[in-house]
Amino acid sequence: MNDKILLDHGSGGLATRQLIEDVFLEHLDNPVLSRMEDSAILDLPQGKVAFTTDSFVIDPIFFPGGDIGSLSVHGTVNDLAMQGAKPRYLSLGLIIEEGLELETLKRVAASIGQAAKVAGVLIAAADTKVVGKGQADKIFINTSGIGVVPERIDLGIQRARPGDVVIVSGSIGDHGAAILLARSGLPFHAEIKSDSAPLADLVHQALSAVEPDAIRLFRDATRGGVATVLNEIALASGVEIEIDEGEIPVDPDVGMVCELLGLDPLYLANEGKCVAVVSPEGASRVLEAMRGTSVGRAARIIGEVKEAKGGPRVKLVTRVGGSRIVPILSGEPLPRIC
């Protein structure tokens, strides 16, 4: 077998079949996928189903703490988890540039398989397309996901209300800083790792710790970071959100990179962190439940929801006691961050 991806590998003929057998079935095989029909047949329990999609175009495709394969599993699993759903099935749509090393594709497939296993999801459907050299950049991955929403769960970005507590599940900006550093080639004393990780268990533990109604919403702080997510919540709920700079967990190395480069960690992407808005009564139990999970050990209350007297907005109380508005930006500081 050739050691590079050829146009023929995306043709739907023998070469595609060979590629699937050689690269994907080893890592992704399961009874649903291996039927190799036009669509997978799933048995879902009755009730509400969450459905989401995300494409991943991250550059570089391998980075400290993860790669485009694991990221594409975590990203979609997390989008399902944010609605309280238990992630069950993923689909996988690959667009590959002709000439990609087969070895690279195998590493990505192995990483997808491993991440799916850890997150407890099955790859139920897959599709591979190959485009000519220069018509894509190495590999793009779309994952769509299906999850099952337990009864009585009703989370929503419009549900924050004055008095609620704002929790972040851990230190912020790790993913953005890791990619920035990997891309820049800057010499730096430490390697910063992406926080790419599945959040479904953290969400499940938090929801189990209190009456379902006590948690208003979860939102993972991906592109645009915590600042963007908080602004979206403020807008959708018609509230002001006040956060306390001194309470926001930032890894010292991430803080240093941000200072060197003039970036604000509040706007850097995360791939394993979420914001939760919780009733004041439920806050301590939710915090404790999050801290009991491997990805939530550094969870922290960072602020509070207030009435939107000056309109929906996000206000930061600085370490020295001043305050400033945290605006919604036009864009992420970094393209192809996920």
Tokens 């959040």 appear where? 199
- Each residue 153-172 as x (binds a second copy by CB under 8 A) or -, in order, gives ---xx---------------
Cα 81 to Cα 22, 37, 103, distances in angstroms: 32, 28, 32
- The stretch among 62-70, 103-111, 118-126, 239-247 that binds a second copy (CB under 8 A) is 118-126
Pairing of β 86-97 and β 139-149:
antiparallel
Pairing of β 239-244 and β 313-317:
parallel
Binding to a second copy by residue 4, rule CB under 8 A?
Answer: no
Closest to a second copy by CB, 64 or 333: 333
Q: Contacting a second copy (CB under 8 A), which of 2, 53, 208, 323?
A: 53
Considering the complex, what minimum distance in angstroms separates the CB of residue 4 from a second copy?
15
- The stretch among 121-129, 164-172, 207-215, 300-308 that binds a second copy (CB under 8 A) is 121-129
Strand ranges inside 245-319, DSSP E: 274-278, 300-307, 313-317
Closest to a second copy by CB, 78 or 253: 78
Q: How far apart are CA 256 and CA 251, in angstroms?
A: 9
Q: How far apart are CA 234 and CA 308, in angstroms?
A: 8
Burial class of residue 262 in the structure, from the number of CB atoms within 10 Å of its CB (0-12 exposed, 13-18 middle, 19+ buried): exposed
- Each residue 226-245 as x (binds a second copy by CB under 8 A) or -, in order, gives --x-----------------
Binding to a second copy by residue 247, rule CB under 8 A?
Answer: no
Q: Contacting a second copy (CB under 8 A), which of 64, 93, 212, 292?
A: 93
- Each residue 276-315 as x (binds a second copy by CB under 8 A) or -, in order, gives ----------------------------------------
Binding to a second copy by residue 30, rule CB under 8 A?
Answer: no
Cα 22 to Cα 25, 27, 104, 207, distances in angstroms: 7, 10, 13, 41
User: Given phi > 0 = left and psi -120 to 50 = alpha, else beta, which region is 242?
Assistant: beta
Binding to a second copy by residue 133, rule CB under 8 A?
Answer: no
Closest to a second copy by CB, 153 or 256: 153
Q: Contacting a second copy (CB under 8 A), which of 113, 147, 272, 303?
A: 147
Q: Which residues contact 104 (CB under 8 A, 6 or more apart)?
A: 61, 138, 139
Q: Contacting a second copy (CB under 8 A), which of 86, 175, 216, 219?
A: 219
